[in-house]
Amino acid sequence: MTADCLFCKMVTGAIKPDTVYEDSDVLAFKDINPQAPVHVLVVPKKHISTLNEFDTGNIDLIGKMFLAAGKIARDTGVAEAGYRTVINCNAGAGQSVFHVHLHVLGGRTMNWPPG
């Protein structure tokens, strides 16, 4: 928990997100500025700033984030048509909230390469 972190405040409930999934280790909620019909953010409950801070001690947590993403894709009906998972790492990749999060995007055709 980091006092001035937006996503830590969602984990503690100080700010109430539009939660779509939660377990003991991860919280998933709708993105406030969706870039696709389905746009959910999966965050670890533990504060980790960026993907660069993951290490071997976080392997289970990383797995749980992706298991949550797959469940969300199935539950929102986009799993078969296709969806995208994205982690933006640091400012050059567009990271704007420095509590690591996995974007789950679906419900429309995704272009490649990404912008």
Query: What are the residue numbers of the active site?
Result: 101
| Shortest Å distance, C-beta 39 to ligand AMP | 7
Is residue 97 near ligand AMP by the rule CB under 6 A? yes
Alpha helix locations (H) across the chain?
Answer: 6-12, 59-75
| Shortest Å distance, C-beta 101 to ligand AMP | 6
Q: How far apart are the first and last CA of the chain?
A: 32
| Shortest Å distance, C-beta 88 to ligand AMP | 4
Burial of 101 (0-12, 13-18, 19+ CB in 10 A): buried
**Stretch in the footprint of ligand AMP (CB under 6 A) among 26-34, 47-55, 64-72, 106-114:** 26-34
Rounded to an integer, what is the distance from CA 27 to the centroid of its chain? 8
Which parts of this chain interact with ligand AMP (CB under 6 A)? 6, 17, 31-33, 41, 88, 94-97
